Amino acid sequence: MTRRLLVAVDDSEPARAALDHVLRLFPEDSVVAIHVSDPLQASYGEGDDADEIFDWVRETAAEHGVSIETTVESGDTAEMVVLFAAENDVDQLFVGSHGRTGVSRMLLGSVAETVVRNSPVPVTVVR
């Protein structure tokens, strides 16, 4: 039975590790890469380029011989990832994490932690 797997991607090394993890371990499943654009950052000129991110996503998937679906959402990253998982029959969700602890995590917040706490499906955090 093919499962639908969701991988949250941005331009970070943890996101690359999460994608690689999914493609290596679950090549037979349906994989969706989601990128969430933060409109607040974009208004300050700090937005990222989803096209560039999806270029490496597709390239990595091709290297593994896996087809991949991509989607872009706009809003709060953790909220949009959880919402997409809930509304799109996702069976499992994967996120990368920098593995910050203590004061660093408190000051910066943690998308991965928020996703884990709120996801309607199992979440694997890749570091």
pLDDT of residue 6: 98
| Contact (Cβ atoms closer than 8 angstroms) between residue 98 and residue 61 | no
Indicate whether 73 pLDDT > 70: yes
Q: What is the mean pLDDT of residues 48-75?
A: 95
Distances (CA, A) of 116 to 12, 65, 74, 123: 19, 29, 20, 6
Task: Give me the CATH number covering residue 51.
Answer: 3.40.50.620
| Contact (Cβ atoms closer than 8 angstroms) between residue 90 and residue 51 | no
Nearest CA to 97 out of 89, 86, 105 is that of 105
Q: What is the mean pLDDT of residues 87-97?
A: 96
Q: Which residue has the tokens 């290297």?
A: 63
The confidence band for 60, taking pLDDT boundaries of 50, 70 and 90, is very high
Domains in the chain, number: 1
pLDDT of residue 74: 94
Distance CA 75, CA 78 (A): 9
Distance CA 118, CA 93 (A): 11
Q: What is the mean pLDDT of residues 21-30?
A: 97
Q: Could you list the residue range(s) of the whole structural domain that residue 58 is in?
A: 4-126
pLDDT of residue 86: 98
pLDDT of residue 108: 39
The confidence band for 52, taking pLDDT boundaries of 50, 70 and 90, is very high
